[in-house]
Amino acid sequence: MSDDVFKIDQFTVIGDIAAGQVSDVFEVIEDGTGKNFALKLIREEILNTATEKSSKTILAQFKQEFKLGQLLEHPNLVQVHEMKFKAQTLLPVKDPIAYFTMDHFRSQNLKAAMTTDPEGTQRRLQKMLEQICEALGYVHSQGWVHRDIKPDNLLLTKSSESRLIDFSLACKIKKKHSIIQGTRTYIAPETIKKQRAVPQTDMYSLGVTLYEVLAGQPPFTGSSPTDLLKRHLATKPPPPSLLNENVAPELDRLVLRLMGKTPADRFESMEDLIAEIRNTRFFLEETEEPIEQLDSEEEVKSLVKTIDSRADAERSKLFAANPELAQKHEKEKNAEQARRAKTKADEALAVQNSSKPAEAATPATPAPTPQPMAMPGITPAAMMPGVPGMPMGMPGMPVAPMMPPPGVPMPPMMPTPGMMPMPGTVPVPGMPPVAPGMPPAAPGMPPAAPGMPPVAPGMPPAAPGMPPAAPGMPPAAPGMPPAAPGMPPATPGM
């Protein structure tokens, strides 16, 4: 494609992405929408110099790649959008007759990454392998084999995001072919033998790719294309650790198993391979990612501008010719910047909140000490000096007073039958005399109240303040207390 051609239908070319033997890939912007795509176009000179049969084969493969790109949807595959296909019957052709657009995944392919950053590529190798194997597992589940796994068809970013591309040689599983198709350096033995394609065919090519990343060179080289194919069929490769001492023995075994000479020597499925990758130590010594190589959207944009300054110039020309598109682009750019600023602010706030020390817990207010519940009409007793308080019972229950309340006379200590009178007691009128040899009553004991009946022998005197028996009422039976006023006398034995 000449340098003075910058438009393909409604797409304006703003940069080159990749160039292959049959096709080129460009970065384009769609007129009217301003959307960015990758556009894959069959190279004009290929069709101009090819025979009619070869031209039909190339166009058929190109059309199949587009159809598979729309059929297969997976996070590690590039989504295909639109195809323009013009039927041509006469050769040579001068105008582009076949192209399709797809998502533009900004990255290097693995081939370029091995050259520009071999150590970084090895650090990101394990995650890349998992993602590519997941994509291949999905492709196989849909009944297809890729058949052209190689570093050129694997895209890898610095943040270890990967994509599998180029399905131009893909075929249905177990389909036989009459011709050998594929890249000789990575081709599987069964493909060379024109046997049926199986999922393990992709495993072999992936093993050769992995070997090249680790050792810095492919496992096989030959003096001629035929010699190279023979080595794939019969030569056992040396372990990668012979060329890279940091490769772990476990990874040596995994790579050599992938490169088994027959499909049965390899893994049964991609799921089994993924499990093995996750449980395999890749290197004896892991190297950390330098800070300056950490990936970010801003870094990728800066890198793209540095690699292709012509893209910026073409955008400027496009926007100058289309002010409405320029305004729309600027509006979307400002909205994206605002979104990113808000995201960063939210992340900073989350970090700040997570770094604050937890607030000290407020001590709980102690429960109030239960106070005795006062009974109606009763004043709580005062504590006797020097006497410890009685223990509380159930909360809220009153404690019986130890002393009568102030102003209430102390009841006399009444002797019970058989008790010895207190020393110093004196006879009380109406009371029986103290037995001989007994000490007199304690001084200060009150005499019996006037009008009270004499106390029966051995009975204590009536309590002070008790009224005498009502006139005409019989005295209380011996051993019985006097009846309360207005009450009938107690019957003995009741």
Same domain, 190 and 175: yes
H-helix or E-strand spanning residue 111:
helix 110-116
Stretch 277-292: mean pLDDT: 80
pTM: 0.58
Same domain, 98 and 126: no
CA distance 220 to 238: 10
**pLDDT digit string (tens) for 369-424?**
555 555 555 555 555 555 455 444 455 455 455 555 566 555 555 555 555 555 55
Per-residue pLDDT at 2: 46
Same domain, 229 and 333: no
- Residue-wise burial string across 263-288, b where 16 or more C-beta atoms lie within 10 A, e elsewhere: beebbebbeebbebbeebebbeeeee
Same domain, 90 and 166: no
Stretch 195-200: mean pLDDT: 96
Q: How confident is the model at residue 170 (pLDDT cuts 50, 70, 90)?
A: very high
Least confident range of 69-83, 123-137, 141-155, 354-368? 354-368
- Residue 435 within any structural domain of the chain: no
Same domain, 261 and 324: no
- Residue 80 within any structural domain of the chain: yes
Residue 339 belongs to domain spanning: 316-344
Per-residue pLDDT at 406: 60
- The percentage of residues in the chain with a pLDDT greater than 90, rounded to a whole number, is 44
**pLDDT digit string (tens) for 250-279?**
999 999 999 999 999 999 999 999 999 999
Q: Which CATH number fits the domain that encloses residue 47?
A: 3.30.200.20
- The rounded mean pLDDT for the chain is 76
Per-residue pLDDT at 223: 93
Same domain, 100 and 116: no
- Residue 462 within any structural domain of the chain: no
Same domain, 89 and 167: no
Per-residue pLDDT at 188: 98
Same domain, 48 and 119: no
Domains in the chain, number: 3
Angle in degrees, 0-180, between the axes of helices 323-355 and 309-321, rounded to the nearest 10 = 120
**pLDDT digit string (tens) for 421-452?**
555 555 555 555 544 545 554 454 555 445 55
Same domain, 115 and 72: no
**pLDDT digit string (tens) for 299-336?**
555 455 444 555 555 566 566 666 666 677 777 778 87
- The percentage of residues in the chain with a pLDDT greater than 70, rounded to a whole number, is 60
CA distance 185 to 208: 8
**In the listed set 324, 344, 364, which residue is the last one of a domain according to the structure?**
344
Look at residues 487, 446, 488 and name the one whose alpha carbon lies nearest to residue 463: 446
**In the listed set 242, 270, 285, which residue is the last one of a domain according to the structure?**
285
Q: Looking up tokens 């080159």, which residue turns up?
A: 16
Same domain, 33 and 73: yes
Same domain, 144 and 97: no
Stretch 69-97: mean pLDDT: 74
Query: Regarding predicted confidence, which is higher, 468 or 288?
Result: 288
- Residue 46 within any structural domain of the chain: yes
Same domain, 235 and 340: no
Q: Which CATH number fits the domain that encloses residue 280?
A: 1.10.510.10
Biggest alpha carbon distance in the chain?
A: 160
